[in-house]
Amino acid sequence: MVEKSFFERYCDLKSRIAPFELRTDPETVKTRAAVNILLERAYNVAAGAGVDGRFGLGSGHNVENYMRRAGDYVGALERGEYPLKGKVTEPGLAFIDHSFIKKDGRMHVFFNRGYIGYEWDTMPVQTVGHGVSDDLINWTWETPCLSVDPSEFENYQVWSPGVVEKDGTYYMYYTGVRYSCAQAICLATSQDLYNWERYEGNPIVKPGPWGPWDIGCWSDCRDSMVFIDSDGTAYMYYCTTKFGEDGKTVPAVGVSVSRNMVNWEDRGAYSFDICDFALESPYVLRHDGRYYLFYTNCGHGTAYAVSDDPISGWQSLGMLIPWTVPPECPANVPSCAEVFEFKGKWYISSCLREPGNEQYLELFELGWNSDGTVTVGKRLE
């Protein structure tokens, strides 16, 4: 049997996905968007397009991976299956770091609008997306709410929105990224979650002297979230690095506190022994009098810790959503966890990055145990 050429395989998949262009149901729209983008990327790479980004991160950026994934999706649709069911994204995009917030009984999500087939250092992430849902399954995709501004600190990319409400104002803490890849926490505010205004004094938070930070080179200060305690004190947690006892840098969570949501006081940083590459997307909440920290243990999966204090005393409870297959890239693990309650049920979010930068939001039921641990339940779909 004569093996088909790449162009024959490409045309075969394009012709097989074509009938699904006539369908408008959300699952088909989402799947065929992924197929078309994977095929376009395969075609361009086969024609000589480069795949190496500025920093050489990511995996799966090759013709065979793109073609295999596209072929699997087409075959599933032909069998009457929905291969991306339970995986949420704005069609055609990679859904990355995100933040949930409730308003008027509806759930809003804000997220990095990444690109299937491209890593962030190849195709910059330059807008913050916005989705709204009544049931966490069916989503309406609104106009992106924030973009890169070349005149501001974030002249390269915007990442990791974290949205919180206080006294009727919504605060979005996001990562501004300069072309040097120096990162710092910036602020925008809104009264309705749709119209956002940048704070004139951005950026508002950088690491303290306990860690390295230089505007001229890659400096870790990203993935911020803000937790407001019962006394009104706001605590900001973010991904960074700090100096270890040997002077070398280690993954860490930075902490700052505020009473007015704008001016922040540095309270240091802490690390966990189980985290050896990067400690990303920290998320903190209080439940039954204890503080819980969920975070991405890059290279391993989603981990968590507990404390009686929002700043110190964290005790690791280990991995919560481990990735049992060794990832080709440390970022290709269940990540970006947020924990929230909606209509009487608790959920935890996760975004597994597949090779080739396919990334989708998944939501799982969450149970609180009497011994202080939590249990991840079935996926919402």
3-class SS string, 103-115: ECCEEEEEEEEEE
pLDDT at 2: 63
Gyration radius (Cα) of the chain, Å: 21
Angle between helices 63-78 and 6-17 (to 10 degrees): 30
Angle between helices 63-78 and 26-46 (to 10 degrees): 150
pLDDT at 241: 98
Q: In angstroms, rounded to a whole number, what is the distance separating the alpha carbons of residues 100 and 208?
A: 28
Three-class SS of residue 33? helix
pLDDT at 43: 98
Ranges in the chain, pLDDT < 50: none
pLDDT at 377: 98
In sequence order, the 6+-apart residues with CB closer than 8 A to the CB of 56 are none
| Amino acid symbol at 72 | D
Strands of 169-177's sheet in order across: 157-166, 169-177, 183-190, 197-198
Q: Which residue has the tokens 């269940």?
A: 334
100 closest CA partner among 267, 225, 270: 225
In sequence order, the 6+-apart residues with CB closer than 8 A to the CB of 8 are none
Extract the tokens encoding 377. Answer: 């339940």
Q: Which residue has the tokens 């022994």?
A: 273
pTM listed for this prediction: 0.97
pLDDT at 339: 98
Please provide the DSSP assignment of 303-320 as one string: EEEEESSSSS--EEEEEE
- Give me the residue spans of the domains in the chain: 6-78, 93-379
Domain 93-379 has CATH 3.40.50.300: no
pLDDT at 265: 98
Q: Which residue has the tokens 């596209």?
A: 70
In sequence order, the 6+-apart residues with CB closer than 8 A to the CB of 99 are 109, 110, 111, 161, 162, 163, 172, 225, 338
| Amino acid symbol at 235 | Y
